[in-house]
Amino acid sequence: MKKRLTLKLIAKELDVSVSTVSKALRDSAEISEDTRQKIKAFAKLYNYKPNNIALSLKNRKTKTIGVIIPEIVHHYFTTVISGIEQVANEKGYHVIICTSNNSFDKEVINLEILANGSTDGFILSVAKETQQKGDYHHLTEVIEQGMPLVMFDRVIDEINCDKVIIDDMLGAKKAVQHLVEIGCKKIGLITTIDYVSVGKLRTTGYREALKESNIPINENLILKVEDFDQSESEIQAFLKDKKVDAVFAVNEHFAIYAIKALKEQGLDVPGDVSVIAFTDGELSKRFMPSLTTINQHGEEMGAQAARLLIRKLENDEAEDEPFETIIIETSLVKRNSTKR
Amino acid sequence: MKKRLTLKLIAKELDVSVSTVSKALRDSAEISEDTRQKIKAFAKLYNYKPNNIALSLKNRKTKTIGVIIPEIVHHYFTTVISGIEQVANEKGYHVIICTSNNSFDKEVINLEILANGSTDGFILSVAKETQQKGDYHHLTEVIEQGMPLVMFDRVIDEINCDKVIIDDMLGAKKAVQHLVEIGCKKIGLITTIDYVSVGKLRTTGYREALKESNIPINENLILKVEDFDQSESEIQAFLKDKKVDAVFAVNEHFAIYAIKALKEQGLDVPGDVSVIAFTDGELSKRFMPSLTTINQHGEEMGAQAARLLIRKLENDEAEDEPFETIIIETSLVKRNSTKR
DNA sequence: GATCACAGCGAAAACGTTTTCGTGTTGAAA
DNA sequence: TTTCAACACGAAAACGTTTTCGCTGTGATC
């Protein structure tokens, strides 16, 4: 096991001082051409690489950004991470990822640990539990310490920071409008209970689209799934005898359960009923029929979040600029679960 | 923006020395009950948290482990990460994740950066390009520097380190054996070309299972997909008029393309043909019919890898112990793509 | 020959910790 | 009164860098 090479070791070996070595390696004009060459050659030969930790301590910058997400086993979040990583690496940052597992406590702990010097700033999407609890002290604390924070996807309005979100309402609207355009009149909605902000917004979009198309809103056609684990049976019961000609589901899973239920009723998708899902994942592409979806562009979202954060980190002036909220446009991806 | 509290600041404020503060906070017996109380109260009041970077520099330990994977937008890898994170966090480590995007160069760079003090050790699954190239100097270098390395999933036999793999051969065998048990005689195999080690091993398992069941191997029933992007049409062509009564696919995607192709031929799955896939992802659960699969237990794999690594990190004696290779057992998950 | 500018280098501080060792004070034992 | 142990604390080194400043010697200038 070779010892890691340090400036001190090089200095001793070449019989110069540590400062000289440091300066030589950084091409300082103070050092003569001769010694510089000598030192650089030696460093290269023995593959010297400066120690990041020491640099971080010295510079009070770690060049890493912390990402905290509710769960990693989730296609959408991984696309976001992928976007973050690309931009971050491009700009010489690396990325620490922690998952909160949708637990408030774990979110707090992770934030605290990473805030103690490990990262220069944060990108985060809050845990469900945090949303419900409404306790954001950990976020404000981090901000007060002067660490930039960018929130994405599940953001908290009350917190003052940069944000990247998608236009859930408009996305939902797009979906329903498309259903109307292809001739659907009786459009069901499968959504979540209201405290999940995302579900609420998408529901609003659904309502607005119908209103604008002069289709009366029938509350019987709206299902708010109470228990995620029971969603399959809830959806099955809901679709019984509803005679809808279209379903808009706020996520892939609901859409797929809907399709299953419809098929069991002997109905054809998209022949008899068209189905659109929010969120565009692997599942949508491969399912039979493949799903028409509203794509959330996770990579784009991650990339923008990383850009916002790095801007604050690198620009002293940016620090005092007002906070931005970037809205990522959704787009409709037509596949085979809707008729033409 | 509040300044971060340091030992020095506390010392100045309470008119004692830095050493005293440090000792008091760590409950050293050297410090009188009085001053200890005073210091602790002050620290608590102003929410003092030690700076991780300084600690890392001092201790020459970062308490973080680096994970390098080929891609993150991949269900299997995220389950592995999830397993790593759980164990790591439990033991007070955190996790830096980098993706190589299956590029050799990016793998090398990531490894180098993380090795310069940012992490205490590595868990990694090599990039495809690295496998093809056969250049492992970056791995040996890291090991020579005394950083423990654990490889998982896609491992390199020539590299001397701890490893966690699944028994691909046995897994494949289990799949085929099950097909035989339920009465299938003409079992097709859809696999990858041989340089992907995983594809090769699973193919071997297929052959062995047939041999043991005294079913002659028919090379016409084996498809080695050449181009991943063309896999759908390759599979479609392959299954044309093959009259198989079962298909074993080495991944979910191949299985799903197979099912699609079979359905287009008017065949029923599992009525006419049973299908089993390797890899158990979201897709398998939700697809219609849901897929019978060989589960790779990614979380377990991640957890074991983390345990191996942390053992080497914390145990001085473990350093000289011989390297282990842990084999994770696969298991058959029966669902609806195979008949009973 | 004195002065000066400048090139080339080293010492030391700083980042925030922990830990070893030393030092001064106290009270008790001799 | 002297000696000594125990106690409570501080100074300083160390981790690996960067950077400011000061020092020395050289050659040019007046």
pLDDT at B329 over 80: yes
Q: Is the CB of A12 under 7 A from strand D?
A: no
Q: Verify whether the Cβ–Cβ distance A286 to B85 is below 8 Å.
A: no
Q: Give per-residue pLDDT as tens, A6-31.
A: 999 999 999 999 999 999 999 999 99
- Mean pLDDT on A102-129: 93
Contacts of A78 in chain B (CB under 8 A): 72-74, 78
pLDDT at B1: 61
The answer to whether residues B175 and B332 touch, using CB atoms and an 8 Å cutoff, is: yes
Q: Give per-residue pLDDT as tens, A262-294.
A: 999 999 999 999 999 998 888 899 999 999 999
pLDDT at B194 over 90: no
CA–CA separation, A54 and A84 (whole Å):
26
pLDDT at A2: 67
pLDDT at A1: 61
pLDDT at B50 over 70: yes
Protein-contacted bases of chain D (C-beta within 7 A): 7-12, 14-21
Share of chain B above pLDDT 90, in %: 85
Share of chain A above pLDDT 70, in %: 99
φ/ψ of B273, rounded to 5, equals -135, 135
Q: Is the CB of A52 under 7 A from strand D?
A: no
Q: Give per-residue pLDDT as tens, B288-328.
A: 999 999 999 999 999 999 999 999 999 877 778 899 999 99
Q: What SS3 class is residue A41?
A: helix
Residue B286: both structure tokens together? 């939700």
pLDDT at B126: 95
Residue A78: both structure tokens together? 């991984």
Q: What SS3 class is residue A258?
A: helix
Q: pTM above the 0.75 mark?
A: yes
- Mean pLDDT on B60-65: 94
Q: Verify whether the Cβ–Cβ distance B287 to A287 is below 8 Å.
A: yes
pLDDT at A317 over 80: no
Alpha helices (H) in chain A, listed in sequence order? 7-14, 18-25, 33-45, 52-59, 75-90, 104-113, 128-133, 137-144, 168-181, 197-212, 231-239, 252-264, 282-286, 298-314
Q: Verify whether the Cβ–Cβ distance A118 to B1 is below 8 Å.
A: no
Q: Give per-residue pLDDT as tens, A305-316.
A: 999 999 999 987
The answer to whether residues A192 and A229 touch, using CB atoms and an 8 Å cutoff, is: no
CA–CA separation, B175 and A6 (whole Å):
54
The number of angstroms, rounded, from the C-alpha of A208 to the middle of its chain's C-alpha atoms is 27
pLDDT at A259: 96
Residues A88, A90, A91, A94, CA torsion sign: positive
The helix (H) or strand (E) run that includes residue B202 is: helix B197-212
